[in-house]
Chains A and B, each alone.
Chain A
């Protein structure tokens, strides 16, 4: 018996040595920070993310960038259907041409929280369905050579090519937005005189009501703007903002709904506010809000789209080793959260949309 107990102790000691010594050696080789990061990720993966999957069959586009060996700011963009040259600027990636997967040329790839991505997608989807122009956006699986892939948010950056990418060959888009009490030109410069005219109309309080109304109708695509206002008000809050551009051939200002991370404190849009000050246009906006409810909420289209996009993202999300569920509050650092919590957020979002439809139905 004592001999067996002694051999057992020796075995345990040997096992401990075999376990601890490599760990210490690895920590020494890697350095304490990397060793700690690896250990933390391993524990987090094991404990928090039991739903993780290794090799999913992605149902969202898979993209990866292969930078040129000579210049990392340019290279080849692969999206499964095409290989296209790209240039990476400070603000966004510019593709040389559109592809069957990515129909626009100027893009931003961003880490976003799952719930934020889904909310933004729903807002753009609903706005588009109501006839409002939007920037293009889609969740993608961003594969990084030599590293883990991740679900990211691929969205169009407002650029002068916005109209050209929509079939207006030769047209250059000017994007302006109003934030914190002033107008800012986001892209293009040709529209500056037109922006001055628009700003002057909005600021001119000496005009008669009829004159102001006529001036606004000549300068702004009122119907498109009211539709944008209706969508923003009718649907649950989403991180979107209206940008303004001039649509040919009449070159009137029309809204383009864009994802607005970091711009939530911009205040009310003065164009929309000016339009809603007109009783007739306000009534039209209310009509459009009812139409939006009818089309999107009552018929369950919005919840259906939520289910569709979440189902498309879920396999990729489960393979996302970074688990970037969402942005931490009041912090620019990304925070890892378990997939279970992501699923919980999505479920609550779905409940909210469903309840909104039911409430509206009862109220009517």
Chain B
């Protein structure tokens, strides 16, 4: 047998080996430039080992001044998981707060207060333990602000509890107060995620407003019908394209897998009707990356124009990259000494530099490959049941029951004030007929903008008030260019007041078998007051129908369509009626029955008849101007028209009395002092004796029409 070689334990060799390893490590951490410590280390050296060694050898720590930070003193003990009242001391101030454990990892504290300024500018904040890596969040905040995005402002505070002061990152919760403080007063914040497997991502989460959540859910579902994104043009109408481009660029810069899978904050602007994203850094553990549901944002990446916007944002950041580096350096100087604490400031600076290089060089300067979603978007889980539960094509709601009203409030952005249905400053898109419950007053406030789908109508079955001005009107427009039906008030004895209404694009329609013959129909109202309302017809049809009751129509104008006033008593003053339109109106003002004062009205254009009195109407026309019409005034069966101080110019004929159709007596003109310039004929009376001339209005006529 071969003897086994003796291999004695050699202590000297072991000591030399240890000395070599330790000496090498000391030399490495002494002489290596700090920036080389920032990246991943070879040979399985963990980051915490690098941190420990670098801190131990960080002998020549540069002189830095840690900034003074607010100190929040909170009660001792663990943070309650439920909302609990507590007393918070912030420097010289103290006040009541409510606190609970926050989301996003261990140690998070959510605070809210009603004491203005106690928690800084925001009364609802989340505190999370600060780490050195928070400098990256601060960098990203700077980039988002440079792009013009709303983003929660990150600050740092010292939280004193149990006799210890710890550094926390302070972030506001992006709620309605927060958006209002940032100058967006018409914002409705909500959260929405696009992880197809998460039930809480099915619908947007709107704090304390179920109606708006339903409306937003319908709107978002409409942008991805059946899980397939709508056409880019449609998407771009519903979102703030520029902000979305900047936001997607920020998600690219932030990195991470499946950025759309987590819930993001957004807000809906009532004035513009568009969805705007808020940039907020991801918090807590990365979500499980299940299939991603269709979102209305990323499909726009396929649009070259949108991609150009995104590139423009990117180039802007590249242009100001030098200034951004300076801001990052200033942040390093101000924040890193606090964030590092007793750790190695050099190592932290090196890591911050590496982060800045990654953001500004690698990601911003590199290809935009990360913006594409991984895989094909799928419909969110359970979508069929929710789609099946969507509203029917026609909301045939005629009964005033709570369920119907709740449904309307849920689907449309409608507020209630008592029993009054209030359309506030917002964009309302009606893709189905909307029949408001009977008896409920309806108030439309300035800035409300209605976009009504083809053939669809809005029907109020109670008093209506449009409270707007010419500078800040209420708009009613066709949604897609094709004419909508009508806006109608059908309520017996109701009062209608309209001021500052701007309506165009309607042509009359039918709702539940009821014909609405004009773009604006008011039927059965006891009193109608309209001031400074513009009704512009873009399609064939009548602009206005007022059937019954008293009418006071002041100022405003109607173009391209007839104003049909049926059995009304009252006054039309200072209104302009133009025939111009596609096609021009055949009749300007049509009074069918009733008694009406037409005062200082201008009727101009290529109408067949500018003013038609029929069915026994009695009109007093004074101070009016008729220009360029085939017939200025026609007085039909049984009607009587008094014309005084009016101006007729370039008309085919000024007055026309046609032969009566049956046994009814013919119409009758009573003419006072008027001026005639360039008319083909002054009068065309087919019935002898139907035109009477007088020198001045007598008291009986004045009394009959209620004028002085």
Residues of A bordering B, CB below 8 Å: 76-77, 80-85, 96, 98-101, 103-104, 125, 127-134, 136, 165-171, 221-224, 227, 247-250, 252, 254-256
Which are the 9 A-B pairs with shortest beta-carbon distances? A131-B384, A128-B381, A167-B203, A169-B210, A133-B382, A103-B200, A247-B389, A221-B388, A224-B385
A134-B381, A249-B391 are contacts. A128–B197 as well, Cβ < 8 Å?
yes
Q: Does B204 contact A (CB under 8 A)?
A: yes
**Which partner residue on chain A sits nearest B82 by CB separation?**
A85
A85-B82, A249-B389 are contacts. A125–B384 as well, Cβ < 8 Å?
no
A100-B287, A129-B378, A129-B381 are contacts. A76–B204 as well, Cβ < 8 Å?
no
Most A CB contacts (10 A, CB to CB) among B82, B200, B291 go to B200
**Which partner residue on chain B sits nearest A221 by CB separation?**
B388
Q: Does B199 contact A (CB under 8 A)?
A: yes
Q: How far is the CA of A132 from the CA of B214 in the complex (A)?
A: 20
Identify B385's interface contact among A77, A103, A125, A255, CB under 8 A: A255
Q: How far is the CA of A98 from the CA of B193 in the complex (A)?
A: 14
Most A CB contacts (10 A, CB to CB) among B105, B199, B381 go to B199
Q: What are the residues of chain A within 8 A of B200 when measuring CB–CB?
A: 98, 103-104, 165-167
Q: How far is the CA of A166 from the CA of B291 in the complex (A)?
A: 18
B199 near A136 (CB under 8 angstroms)?
A: yes
Q: What are the residues of chain A within 8 A of B205 when measuring CB–CB?
A: 167
Q: How far is the CA of A221 from the CA of B411 in the complex (A)?
A: 19
Q: Does B535 contact A (CB under 8 A)?
A: no
Q: What are the residues of chain B within 8 A of A129 when measuring CB–CB?
A: 196, 291, 378-379, 381
Q: What are the residues of chain B within 8 A of A96 when measuring CB–CB?
A: 81-82
**Which partner residue on chain A sits nearest B263 by CB separation?**
A100
Q: Count A-B pairs with CB separation below 8 Å.
A: 133
A168 near B385 (CB under 8 angstroms)?
A: no
A223 near B384 (CB under 8 angstroms)?
A: yes
Q: What are the residues of chain A within 8 A of B39 when measuring CB–CB?
A: none
A167-B217, A250-B389 are contacts. A125–B197 as well, Cβ < 8 Å?
yes
Task: Provide a sorted-by-A list of 17 A–B residue pairs whose CB atoms are within 8 angstroms.
Answer: A80-B105, A81-B105, A82-B102, A83-B79, A99-B103, A100-B263, A103-B199, A167-B203, A167-B213, A169-B206, A222-B388, A223-B387, A247-B385, A249-B390, A250-B388, A250-B390, A254-B385
Q: Does B661 contact A (CB under 8 A)?
A: no
B198 near A169 (CB under 8 angstroms)?
A: no
- Produce 1/0 per residue, B194-224, CB < 8 A to A: 0011111111111011100110010000000
A249 near B386 (CB under 8 angstroms)?
A: no
Q: What are the residues of chain B within 8 A of A76 when measuring CB–CB?
A: 81
Q: How far is the CA of A256 from the CA of B388 in the complex (A)?
A: 13
Q: How far is the CA of A221 from the CA of B202 in the complex (A)?
A: 18
Q: What are the residues of chain A within 8 A of B197 when measuring CB–CB?
A: 125, 128
What is the CB-to-nearest-CB distance from A62 to chain B, in angstroms, rounded to a whole number?
A: 10
Q: How far is the CA of A221 from the CA of B348 in the complex (A)?
A: 59
**Which partner residue on chain B sits nearest A133 by CB separation?**
B382
Q: What are the residues of chain B within 8 A of A250 when measuring CB–CB?
A: 388-392
**Assuming A103-B200, A165-B200, A254-B389, what are 17 further A-B pairs, CB within 8 angstroms?**
A77-B81, A83-B79, A85-B81, A96-B82, A100-B287, A128-B381, A131-B381, A131-B385, A166-B382, A167-B200, A167-B205, A167-B213, A221-B385, A224-B385, A249-B389, A250-B389, A254-B388
Q: How far is the CA of A84 from the CA of B79 in the complex (A)?
A: 11
Identify A132's interface contact among B196, B384, B407, CB under 8 A: B384
A227 near B384 (CB under 8 angstroms)?
A: yes
Q: How far is the CA of A136 from the CA of B208 in the complex (A)?
A: 24
Q: What are the residues of chain B within 8 A of A77 when measuring CB–CB?
A: 81
Q: What are the residues of chain B within 8 A of A125 when measuring CB–CB?
A: 197
- Produce 1/0 per residue, B281-299, CB < 8 A to A: 0011101000100000000
Identify A83's interface contact among B81, B204, B386, CB under 8 A: B81
Q: Does B705 contact A (CB under 8 A)?
A: no
Q: What are the residues of chain A within 8 A of B201 when measuring CB–CB?
A: 103
What is the CB-to-nearest-CB distance from A6 to chain B, in angstroms, rounded to a whole number?
A: 29
B214 near A249 (CB under 8 angstroms)?
A: yes
Q: How far is the CA of A172 from the CA of B202 in the complex (A)?
A: 17
B391 near A131 (CB under 8 angstroms)?
A: no
B103 near A100 (CB under 8 angstroms)?
A: yes
B199 near A166 (CB under 8 angstroms)?
A: yes
Q: Does B410 contact A (CB under 8 A)?
A: yes
A84 near B379 (CB under 8 angstroms)?
A: no
B284 near A169 (CB under 8 angstroms)?
A: no
Q: How far is the CA of A162 from the CA of B677 in the complex (A)?
A: 77
Most A CB contacts (10 A, CB to CB) among B206, B263, B388, B392 go to B388
Q: What are the residues of chain A within 8 A of B263 when measuring CB–CB?
A: 100
What is the CB-to-nearest-CB distance from B161 to chain A, in angstroms, rounded to a whole number?
A: 16
A100 near B104 (CB under 8 angstroms)?
A: yes
Q: Does B306 contact A (CB under 8 A)?
A: no
Q: What are the residues of chain A within 8 A of B217 when measuring CB–CB?
A: 167
What is the CB-to-nearest-CB distance from B131 to chain A, in angstroms, rounded to a whole number?
A: 16
A81-B284, A128-B197 are contacts. A223–B388 as well, Cβ < 8 Å?
yes
**Which partner residue on chain B sits nearest A60 by CB separation?**
B288
Q: How far is the CA of A248 from the CA of B379 in the complex (A)?
A: 20
B382 near A134 (CB under 8 angstroms)?
A: yes
What is the CB-to-nearest-CB distance from B414 to chain A, in angstroms, rounded to a whole number?
A: 14
Q: What are the residues of chain A within 8 A of B640 when measuring CB–CB?
A: none
What is the CB-to-nearest-CB distance from B242 to chain A, in angstroms, rounded to a whole number?
A: 28
A221 near B389 (CB under 8 angstroms)?
A: yes
Q: How far is the CA of A249 from the CA of B402 in the complex (A)?
A: 12
Q: What are the residues of chain A within 8 A of B672 when measuring CB–CB?
A: none
**Which partner residue on chain B sits nearest A167 by CB separation?**
B203
Q: How far is the CA of A167 from the CA of B210 in the complex (A)?
A: 8
**Which partner residue on chain B sits nearest A81 by CB separation?**
B284
Q: Does B101 contact A (CB under 8 A)?
A: yes
Q: How far is the CA of A2 from the CA of B52 in the complex (A)?
A: 60
Q: What are the residues of chain A within 8 A of B385 when measuring CB–CB?
A: 131-133, 221, 224, 247, 254-256
Q: What are the residues of chain B within 8 A of A80 when measuring CB–CB?
A: 105, 284-285
Q: What are the residues of chain A within 8 A of B410 when measuring CB–CB?
A: 248-249
Q: How far is the CA of A83 from the CA of B207 in the complex (A)?
A: 21
A131 near B104 (CB under 8 angstroms)?
A: no
Most A CB contacts (10 A, CB to CB) among B104, B205, B263, B285 go to B285
What is the CB-to-nearest-CB distance from B668 to chain A, in angstroms, rounded to a whole number?
A: 58
A165 near B199 (CB under 8 angstroms)?
A: yes
Q: How far is the CA of A129 from the CA of B390 in the complex (A)?
A: 19
B210 near A100 (CB under 8 angstroms)?
A: no
Identify A167's interface contact among B101, B204, B287, B381, CB under 8 A: B204
Interface residues in B96-141 (C-beta closer than 8 Å to A): 101-106, 108
What is the CB-to-nearest-CB distance from A27 to chain B, in angstroms, rounded to a whole number?
A: 41
Q: How far is the CA of A130 from the CA of B378 in the complex (A)?
A: 10
Q: What are the residues of chain A within 8 A of B283 when measuring CB–CB?
A: 100
Q: What are the residues of chain A within 8 A of B79 when measuring CB–CB?
A: 83
Q: What are the residues of chain B within 8 A of A85 when measuring CB–CB?
A: 81-82
What is the CB-to-nearest-CB distance from A322 to chain B, in angstroms, rounded to a whole number?
A: 24
Q: How far is the CA of A250 from the CA of B406 in the complex (A)?
A: 11
**Which partner residue on chain B sits nearest A95 by CB separation?**
B81
Identify B384's interface contact among A130, A136, A171, A252, CB under 8 A: A130
What is the CB-to-nearest-CB distance from B104 to chain A, in angstroms, rounded to a whole number?
A: 6
Most B CB contacts (10 A, CB to CB) among A104, A128, A170 go to A128
Q: How far is the CA of A169 from the CA of B211 in the complex (A)?
A: 9
Q: How far is the CA of A353 from the CA of B613 in the complex (A)?
A: 81
A168 near B210 (CB under 8 angstroms)?
A: yes
**Which partner residue on chain A sits nearest B192 by CB separation?**
A167
What is the CB-to-nearest-CB distance from B532 to chain A, in angstroms, rounded to a whole number?
A: 37
A98-B200, A101-B285, A104-B199 are contacts. A131–B383 as well, Cβ < 8 Å?
yes
Q: How far is the CA of A320 from the CA of B56 in the complex (A)?
A: 40
Q: How far is the CA of A125 from the CA of B199 in the complex (A)?
A: 12
**Which partner residue on chain A sits nearest B79 by CB separation?**
A83
Q: How far is the CA of A34 from the CA of B101 in the complex (A)?
A: 40
Q: What are the residues of chain B within 8 A of A128 when measuring CB–CB?
A: 196-197, 381-382
